[in-house]
């Protein structure tokens, strides 16, 4: 008995070490290696939850989402693991099987203890399926469970914006920004509401915050340039827009900002616009 127990402990240690190597491989962009390790473990335990999660992540990273469904569904049916159920729902959604994804997510949010990402994913899917009222209810439940999860507040903010509830959107985005002041999704959501309401000064301050924290973010410079145009500062605006394009932001986004503003410019030839945004003399 003692020999058998020692052998079992040794196998468990070896398995735990293998899972650590697989996790490290995922973190370092080696999904094929992680897949190999997880697959070997699943040969002896087909519903091993940790190995299943790693295998699914590895397959998804390799754009092989359909292959991830079967092992996830097998593990989900073998237990009551909300993380597995949520991961399965994500795979199903990405395969276009939204109805099945909803079923698994509605199971996942009922688990104890609650798994906050399940609420986030269900809220996201309901929003995508144009069911914003139910999405708000689910996301508010999730936010009550995980008030320090900024992604939950961001998703709630976008759903509120869809419902034209600007006060609710601003409150949700503000909660996300209080947790992470330069979170791109929160800044993007908040500024879209502020700019829609004509509050370009406050939106500009948020864009400046992102640029200060992450100078490489070209989209924030496009946003700041747009606000500066509306605030009557065209010279500074054009500097921002050019810098944004130079840092990889969309040329068309910069051009749209200029041509749609009442204080912007218009060109008959696209080449002239390109020359202007590059800062070249034309």
pLDDT in tens, 174-205: 999 999 998 999 999 999 999 999 999 999 99
* Statement: residue 242 has pLDDT above 70: yes
Phi, psi of 147 (to 5 degrees): -65, -15
Half-sphere exposure of 60 (CA within 13 A, CB side): 21
How many other CB atoms are there within 10 angstroms of residue 14's CB atom? 11
Total domain count, the chain: 3
In a domain, 208, yes or no: no
Same domain, 132 and 75: no
Q: Which of 188, 186, 191 is nearest to 156 (CA)?
A: 186
* Statement: residue 274 has pLDDT above 60: no
> pLDDT (tens digit, 9 = 90+) per residue, 23-51?
889 898 898 989 888 888 888 877 788 88
How many other CB atoms are there within 10 angstroms of residue 12's CB atom? 10
In a domain, 94, yes or no: yes
Report the C-alpha gap between 154 and 258 in whole angstroms. Answer: 28
Single out the residue in 67, 84, 113 at which a domain terminates: 113
Mean pLDDT of 209-223: 92
> pLDDT (tens digit, 9 = 90+) per residue, 247-266?
888 778 887 877 777 665 55
- Boundaries of domain holding 43: 31-113
Q: What is the pLDDT of residue 16?
A: 85
The enclosing domain of 120 has a CATH number of 1.25.40.10
Q: What is the pLDDT of residue 8?
A: 58
Percent of the chain residues past pLDDT 70, beyond the cut: 89
Same domain, 100 and 55: yes
The tokens for 171 are 């409150």
Q: What is the pLDDT of residue 7?
A: 55
Q: What is the pLDDT of residue 281?
A: 47
> pLDDT (tens digit, 9 = 90+) per residue, 48-73?
888 888 988 888 899 999 998 988 89
Same domain, 180 and 132: yes
How many other CB atoms are there within 10 angstroms of residue 230's CB atom? 19
Same domain, 109 and 122: no
Q: What is the pLDDT of residue 156?
A: 98
> pLDDT (tens digit, 9 = 90+) per residue, 118-140?
999 999 999 999 999 999 999 99
Same domain, 126 and 190: yes
Single out the residue in 113, 134, 164 at which a domain terminates: 113
Q: What is the pLDDT of residue 282?
A: 44
């Amino acid at each position: 008995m003692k020999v058998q127990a020692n052998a079992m402990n040794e196998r468990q240690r070896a398995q735990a070490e293998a899972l650590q190597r697989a996790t490290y491989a995922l973190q370092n962009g080696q999904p094929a290696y992680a897949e190999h390790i997880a697959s070997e473990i699943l040969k002896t335990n087909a519903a091993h939850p940790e190995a299943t999660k790693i295998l699914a992540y590895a397959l998804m990273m390799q754009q092989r989402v359909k292959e991830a469904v079967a092992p996830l569904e097998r593990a989900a049916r073998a237990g009551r693991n909300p993380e597995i159920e949520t991961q399965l729902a994500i795979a199903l959604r990405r395969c276009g099987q939204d109805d099945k994804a909803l079923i698994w997510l509605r199971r996942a949010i009922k688990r104890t203890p609650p798994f906050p990402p399940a609420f986030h994913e269900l809220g996201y899917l309901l929003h995508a399926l144009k069911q914003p009222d139910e999405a708000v209810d689910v996301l508010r439940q999730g936010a009550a469970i995980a008030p320090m999860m900024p992604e939950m507040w961001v998703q709630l903010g976008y759903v509120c914006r869809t419902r034209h509830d600007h006060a609710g959107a601003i409150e949700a985005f503000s909660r996300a920004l209080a947790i992470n002041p330069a979170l791109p999704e929160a800044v993007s959501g908040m500024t879209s509401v502020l700019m829609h309401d004509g509050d370009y000064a406050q939106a500009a301050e948020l864009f400046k915050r992102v640029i200060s924290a992450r100078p490489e973010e070209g989209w924030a410079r496009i946003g700041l340039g747009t606000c500066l145009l509306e605030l009557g500062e065209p010279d500074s605006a054009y500097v921002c827009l050019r810098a944004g394009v130079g840092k990889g932001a969309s040329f068309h986004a910069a051009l749209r900002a200029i041509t749609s503003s009442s204080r912007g410019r218009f060109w008959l030839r696209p080449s002239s616009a390109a020359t202007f945004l590059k800062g070249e003399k034309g």
